[in-house]
Structure 1
Amino acid sequence: MDYDDPSSLNAALQRKDVVISTLGRPAFHHQELLGQAAKAAGVKLFVPSEFGNPTEGREDSWFAQKNAARQKLKDMGMPYLLVYNGPFSDFVFNPHMGWDLPGGKVQISGKGDTPISFTYRRDIGRFLAHILTELPPEELAWKTLRIESDRTTMNKIAAEYERRSGKKLEVTHRSLEEMREAVRNSPLDVSETLRLDWELGGGTAGTPEQLDNKLWPEFNPTSAVDVLLKRDGYL
C-alpha cells in the first residue's frame, strides 16, 4: 500500500468497515489522503490518530494539526470516532522526557501535582478492539471515547516507584516559567509542548464523569507505576 497513491489506498481499503490511523507526526500528513480513500471505499468508520490529549478546538502546536485533520474528516463526511487517553505510560517515562530511572534521576516539569490520565498502549488497543467488536460502526460514528488506565500525578508516580522498587530517586523540578520559555523558543517541540500542557491541566482524557471505562466493566487496565516497575524488572 502506497500512502502517496490514492488508488493504492482505495484498493487496500475495499470491503473494510473500519480504518484505524496510528500515523505519527512525521507521517501525519498522509492522514487526509487515508481519510479520502476510506470515504471513497465505503468505509463506515474512521478512527483518526488522536490517542492523547483532547485536541478539539485547539489552535496551538501539534494539537492544531490534529484538530485541523479532524475537521477535514468532518468536511468530507467521513464518520469518525475520536479516542482520548492522555499520555502513554509505556512511552513518556524516558530520559528525553526527564525520567532517567536506570540512572536514578527524575526531572519533573512543573510542580508535578497536576492530575494526568496515563494509559498503557496495550490497554488502548484492548479497549478499542472490544468496543469495535461489541458495537456496530454506525453507533460509534461522530462519537468520542475517553479512557485512562489511571489518573495520578508525576510526583505520586515517582514516590510510588521509589517505595515499591526500593530504589532512591534524585527528583528535581523545572519551573513553569522555564517550561513556557522552552515552548516560546521551540513552539513545535512536541515533548516541551506536551509537558507544559500536562502541567497546565491538559493531560486528562476528560472529567471523571466523562470517562468511558465503564463501557467495559472487565477492562482492568494497568496502572502507570505498574508499567514502569514491570519494564524495569521489579514485577
Structure 2
Amino acid sequence: MAIVAVAGGSGKLGRAIVDGIKAAGNFEVLVLARKASARIVETDYSSPDAIAAVLEKNNVHVVVSALSSQSPPEQEFNLLKGADKSSVTKRYIPSIWGIRYTEEIASYFPPAATKLSFLSALQATSLDWTAVYNGYFLDYYGAPKVKTYMPPMALVVDLANNFAAIPGSGDVPVVFTHTFDVGHFTAALLTKDKWEKESYIIGDKVTLNEFVKLGEEVKKTKFTIEHDPIEKLKTGQITELPSHPPFYPYFPKQMLQGMFAAFGNMFENGVFDLKPSHTLNQDFPEIKPKTVKALITEAYGA
C-alpha cells in the first residue's frame, strides 16, 4: 500500500484530509509535524535534507501539504525541496486549498503572493504536482454545531445572530466546500494516474444573497441585513458582525476587518465563482458534498 505523508496533518484542514484518506482505505497515512506522537513523525521543517531523509526512511510516495497559512513560508519551501530531493517521493499537493490566486489579488491580499511563490517553486522541481481549489470553507458557518476541526468564524453571514453584512451586490456566486469533503476528494485525487496542474472541488455554489435567504428559511426569521459598498471594502473596513468582538483579543479588530474586507472584495469580483472546465466532482460523482442548505439545516434546523 502506497504511503501518503500529510504535512500539517494534525492541524485543522490537515486532520480533515487525513480522515478522508484513511476512510478511503487506498493509502497508508503518515502525519508530518514539528512534534511527534502516535502515528505522527517528527519533522524538522528547517532542513530540506532532513525532510528528504524522513520521506525516504518512511517510503513516502506522495506529500500533501496542509501547513497553516500562519506557518512561516520557509516551511513549505523546505518541504517541497525535501520532497524533490527524496528518491521515493514523486507527487506533491501544495498548501493552496482555496482559489486561483493572481498578482492582482496579491496586491491587496498578501497571503496570495506567498501561495503564488509556492507554485513557482514547484515548477522548478521534478515532482508531479497539482494545486487544489475548493473555494471558501463552509465549516466556519456550522462550527461548533456541525462537526469540524475549524473554529467558528462568521464572514458576511452571522447565522447565530441572524445578521448579515453583504459586500457589494451579493449577487455573485461563491463556492463553499466543507473540509471533510475536501478530504474525501483529495483521497480520490490520489488514485488518479494523471494529475492536471489545477484540481477543482465544487462543494456548493450560491450567491451571498441566496445564502442569507437559506438562513432565514431554515431559522424561520428575518435577518438584519447591511450592505458594504466596494469603496468601503477597499479601505479595509466592513460592518462588524455581532460574533466578531469576542475574537478581538486573539485577532485584533483592524486585522480581522482588513482580511474580511479583502474576502468581500474577492467575493464581489467573482474570484470565488470557480468556473473550471473540469472538476473532481465529475471524476468522482459518488462523492456527494455537503450543501450550504444542508449545513445550515444541520446546525440550526432544530
TM-score by length of 1: 0.87
The residue number in structure 1 matching 2:80 is 35
Shift of 1:84: 0.7
Matches within 5 A, 1:91-170: 91=140, 96-133=154-191, 135-136=192-193, 139-140=194-195, 143-170=197-224
Tell me which of 79, 100, 107 is aligned to 1:54. Answer: 100
Distance 1:219 1:109, change over 3 A: same
Distance 1:171 1:192, change over 3 A: same
The residue number in structure 2 matching 1:65 is 114
Instruction: Give the conservation status (yes or no) of the 8 Å contact 2:176–2:205.
Output: yes
Give distance in 1, aligned partners of 2:101 and 2:130: 13
Shift of 1:194: 2.0
Shift of 1:45: 0.7
Supply the AA of the counterpart residue of 2:124: D
Give distance in 2, aligned partners of 1:28 and 1:92: 27
Shift of 1:234: 1.8
Instruction: Give the conservation status (yes or no) of the 8 Å contact 2:219–2:301.
Output: yes
The residue number in structure 2 matching 1:87 is 136
Residue correspondences, number: 227
Instruction: Give the conservation status (yes or no) of the 8 Å contact 1:62–1:190.
Output: no
SS at match of 2:76: helix
Supply the AA of the counterpart residue of 1:74: Q
Give distance in 2, aligned partners of 1:121 and 1:57: 26
**Gaps spanning 5+ residues in structure 2: where?**
1-42, 143-151, 238-253
Give distance in 1, aligned partners of 2:44 and 2:174: 37
Give distance in 2, aligned partners of 1:201 and 1:57: 15
Give distance in 1, aligned partners of 2:212 and 2:61: 42
Distance 1:124 1:8, change over 3 A: same
Shift of 1:95: 5.3
Structure showing the higher helix proportion among its residues: 1
CA deviation string 1:12-47 (max 9, x = no partner): 222111111111221151110000011111311110
Are positions 1:13 and 2:67 aligned together? no
CA RMSD after TM alignment: 2.3
SS at match of 1:182: coil
The residue number in structure 2 matching 1:229 is 297
Instruction: Give the conservation status (yes or no) of the 8 Å contact 1:90–1:228.
Output: no
Shift of 1:114: 0.4
SS at match of 1:13: helix
Are positions 1:190 and 2:259 aligned together? yes
The residue number in structure 2 matching 1:212 is 280
SS at match of 2:260: helix
Structure showing the higher strand proportion among its residues: 2
Supply the AA of the counterpart residue of 2:130: L
CA deviation string 1:84-120 (max 9, x = no partner): 1111111268555243222221112221110111111
Give distance in 2, aligned partners of 1:47 and 1:189: 29
Higher RCO (CA-CA < 8 Å; seq separation 6+): 1
Shift of 1:131: 2.1
Supply the AA of the counterpart residue of 2:200: R
The residue number in structure 2 matching 1:179 is 233
Identity of aligned residues (%): 24
Larger deviation, residues 217-226 vs 122-131? 217-226
Shift of 1:225: 2.8
